[in-house]
Amino acid sequence: EDKVVQSPLSLVVHEGDTVTLNCSYEVTNFRSLLWYKQEKKAPTFLFMLTSSGIEKKSGRLSSILDKKELFSILNITATQTGDSAIYLCAVEALTGNQFYFGTGTSLTVIP
């Protein structure tokens, strides 16, 4: 059964802290892994990863994929209250045209 597991389920940190969010997967015919940020409404795209070991960066956020160990991490440095959100990990399968989502990590950043 294809599945995506995220950890931790929730996290509370203080502004300025660095956090690491985890995503492990078991998906047949892996194509890509995507990270999304969801605040009050629709998820918004952060990163798409297809190759192992190549870090993607956007400001204070970065992500990397390990296709051998079947996981990805999302790092956020110098967290701000605006980073408070649910972070979703999704894996796209080559066959079946499906995206499999994890349950998300709820991040709360306290001033």
Partner 1 sequence: NAGVTQTPKFQVLKTGQSMTLQCAQDMNHEYMSWYRQDPGMGLRLIHYSVGAGITDQGEVPNGYNVSRSTTEDFPLRLLSAAPSQTSVYFCASSYDAGATGELFFGEGSRLTVL
Q: What is the DSSP string of 30-94?
A: EEEEEEEEESSSS-EEEEEE-STT--EEETTEEEEEETTTTEEEEEE-S--GGG-EEEEEEEEES
**Judged by CB under 8 A, does residue 33 bind partner 1?**
no
Instruction: Kindly state whether residue 104 participates in binding partner 1, applying the rule CB under 8 A.
Output: yes
Side-chain-facing half-sphere of 6: CA atoms under 13 Å = 25
Is residue 29 involved in binding partner 1 (CB under 8 A)? no
Both tokens of residue 32? 């890509």
**Out of 77, 80, 103, 108, which residue is the one contacting partner 1 (CB under 8 A)?**
103
Contact letters for partner 1, residues 39-78 (x by CB under 8 A): --xxxxx--x------------------------------
Q: Which of the stretches 16-24, 58-66, 73-81, 96-104 binds partner 1 when contact is defined by CB under 8 A?
A: 96-104
Q: Is 97 in the site for partner 1 (CB under 8 A)?
A: yes
Place of tokens 């409404």: 41
> Is the Cα dihedral 83, 86, 92, 97 positive or negative?
negative
Binding site for partner 1 (CB under 8 A): 4, 31-32, 34, 41-45, 48, 88, 90, 92, 94, 97-104
